[in-house]
Structure 1
């Protein structure tokens, strides 16, 4: 299993950051390089507990779909999305938010497994982990900019 941990410090209250993090429209904006679009389930606005969204985006030159469900949520503290259908063997993304003095620390813990045995592991080490890290880092930069501009 591969794990990616990111910490992003944002000069905004965690309620703003939390809501931007689960906003479908914001995600589509942050994933414009992969032309990622919500095509089923919740396709705009805020996603909530037990709701799903299906994404379609172009990764590695081909269009892929990925359906996630929000499996855990405690408003403004954390939420978890897990793959229910897609190209990974497993995929779980934990989003946590901590606030101190009006500033938020956003913590991403992404855990996934690739299919195809040793070939999947090789692809992960060679390309996928770096791709996923850049994807999340870009997303977090957009969230940070939006949240800090709402101040």
Structure 2
């Protein structure tokens, strides 16, 4: 089971970073390159405990649907979303927020299991882990860009 961990330091209030991280609207912006769109469940606004969303996107040349649900929530410090249905055998994405020296530190821990046993593990080592890491890094880049610009984040959060 691969585990991806990213840490992003953001010069913004922790509550702003937390809320942007659970925004369906900002997620859509961060995944424009995959044509990701929310097609069921919570399709706009901020996700809360027990909210679910189904995303449709094109990844690795294949159009896919993935449904996830917020299973743990402690604003503004932590939330986790888990796959309910989709291409992975399972996944859990933990979003951890702390403050250091007046900045928000956003830590993502993404655990997943690919389908297809040994073939899935081979795909993980050859390309899938790297692909997933890049998706998360792009998402974090967008969260940081919006969180550090009040004009941008107010358009998403207000």
TM-score, normalising length: structure 2:
0.94
Q: CA separation in 2, counterparts of 1:54 and 1:121?
A: 25
Confirm or deny that 1:130 pairs with 2:134.
Answer: no
Aligned residues between the structures: 151
Which residue is equivalent to 1:6?
6
Secondary structure (helix, strand or coil) at the match of 2:137 reads helix
After the TM superposition, which segments of 4 or more aligned residues of structure 1 sit over 4 Å from their partners? none
Q: CA separation in 2, counterparts of 1:104 and 1:34?
A: 28
* 1:99 Cα offset (Å): 1.2
Structure 2: where are the runs of 5+ without partners? 152-158
* 1:91 Cα offset (Å): 0.4
RMSD across aligned C-alpha pairs, in angstroms?
0.9
Structure 1: where are the runs of 5+ without partners? none
Secondary structure (helix, strand or coil) at the match of 2:48 reads coil
Which residue is equivalent to 1:102?
102
TM-score, normalising length: structure 1:
0.98
Which residue is equivalent to 2:36?
36
* 1:64 Cα offset (Å): 0.5
Q: Deviations over 1:107-149 (max 9, x none)?
A: 0000000110111111111111000000000000000000001
Secondary structure (helix, strand or coil) at the match of 2:110 reads strand
Confirm or deny that 1:64 pairs with 2:64.
Answer: yes
Which residue is equivalent to 2:156?
none
Q: CA separation in 2, counterparts of 1:95 and 1:136?
A: 11
Q: CA separation in 1, counterparts of 2:31 and 2:125?
A: 22
Q: Deviations over 1:79-129 (max 9, x none)?
A: 000000001011000000001343100000000001101111111111110
